[in-house]
Amino acid sequence: MLISSAYAQTAPAAAPAGGDLSSSLMSMLPLLLMFVVLYFVMIRPQMKRQKEHKTMLDSLAKGDEVATSGGLLGKVTQLSEQQLSLEIASGVVVQMQRSAVIQVLPKGSLK
């Protein structure tokens, strides 16, 4: 036969009222510990990177050489609050969002 008989288990004896609270707190401890580890391993470093990226975008200036998320390398020719003009070749200027800049390159790295 494929199905075996099922037997009911007896219920465990009721614990005292004070022990119930401490056991529920102890069962929550691993969850709280995982949240703390998650915060320090993932959330906090991501917030730090976002802050550094925002600072870098705010400090962009005309003439900076930058790399974009699309892989374009160029020199900043104009800046506005949300957009910038990037000269990617002699006489070739493209408009893009300021947030697309991922890195400011050292001066003279583009020829």
Q: What is the pLDDT of residues 12-43, one digit of tens each?
A: 665 555 567 788 888 899 999 999 999 999 99
Q: What is the pLDDT of residues 62-110, one digit of tens each?
A: 999 999 999 999 999 999 999 999 999 999 999 999 999 999 999 988 8
pTM of the model: 0.68
Domain boundaries, the chain: 20-59, 61-105
Cβ atoms of residues 33 and 26 within 8 Å: no
Annotation: CATH topology of 61-105: SH3 type barrels. (2.30.30)
β-sheet bridge partners, residue 96: 84
